[in-house]
Amino acid sequence: MPKNSEANAKVSETAAANSAKASAASQTAAKASEDAAREYANQTAEPYRYVLQPLPDVWIPFNDSLDMITGYSPGYKKVKIGDNVVQVASDKQVNFSRASTATYINKSGELKTAEINEPRFEKEGLLIEGQRTNYMLNSATPASWGKSANMNVAEVGTDSFGFTYGKFVCNESLIGQSTTLNMAVVSTSGAVDVSGDNKCVTTSCRFKTDLELLFKDQV
């Protein structure tokens, strides 16, 4: 009988030791998991430490509207309701003004004309330009452009992007010849003063042909 009691006590002691070892292993595993989770959280948060900054007091993207995300500026904004456009009061609207109409290329690549006090938004956002004057006479009227006598303006119109164009065709008398022609001569309304600082003249045009021609822009 004493031998059985001694054996049972030994079994209980062994079971208790195994339970203690299992508990210690469980605690070690839990500590390892906790450390791994903390390290992962630190690694994940590190790249974004300087990204999630507080919103600025004034934030105006100027991407496609004059709306403010943060800040205060009382004004009016245009809202389209069905087929109607109405003005509504807003306390987050930048005020904008321009004394004249102006052209611009919208985000779809189309030539548009903005009305007085209407902002222009191109692919890079709000378009801001310095004051300028168009000295070219009939710049948007191809039929009135100067040209060589042996050329005709066979067609004028407006393309899908809103640009006015003229189709110039040579007379049959020029077939087989090699010569220089004035295809489009646009006059100015007077001498252009480019003296002094910060004065310049800019000219631009679009030229398209299926023939082997050399185009030269001369000012």
Per the model's pLDDT, the better-predicted residue between 178 and 66 turns out to be: 66
Q: Are residues 73 and 19 in the same domain?
A: no
Question: Which two three-digit tokens encode residue 16?
Answer: 């208790």
Beta bridge partners of 183: none
* pLDDT tens sequence across 94-146: 999 998 888 899 999 998 999 999 999 999 999 998 877 777 777 778 888 87
Residues of the domain holding 29: 2-48
Q: Are residues 172 and 210 in the same domain?
A: yes
Q: Are residues 152 and 204 in the same domain?
A: yes
CA distance 58 to 45: 27
pTM: 0.51
Only one residue has tokens 């030791």, namely 17
Q: Are residues 119 and 192 in the same domain?
A: no
Span of 8-22, 56-70, 84-98, 113-127 with lowest mean pLDDT: 8-22
Q: Are residues 12 and 64 in the same domain?
A: no
The overall longest dimension of the chain from CA atoms, in Å, is 136
Assign 146 to helix, strand or coil: strand
* pLDDT tens sequence across 20-55: 666 666 677 667 666 766 666 666 555 666 555 678
> Number of structural domains, the chain?
4
Pick the last residue of a domain from 115, 131, 147: 131
Pick the last residue of a domain from 106, 131, 156: 131
Say what the pLDDT of residue 146 is: 78
Say what the pLDDT of residue 106 is: 94
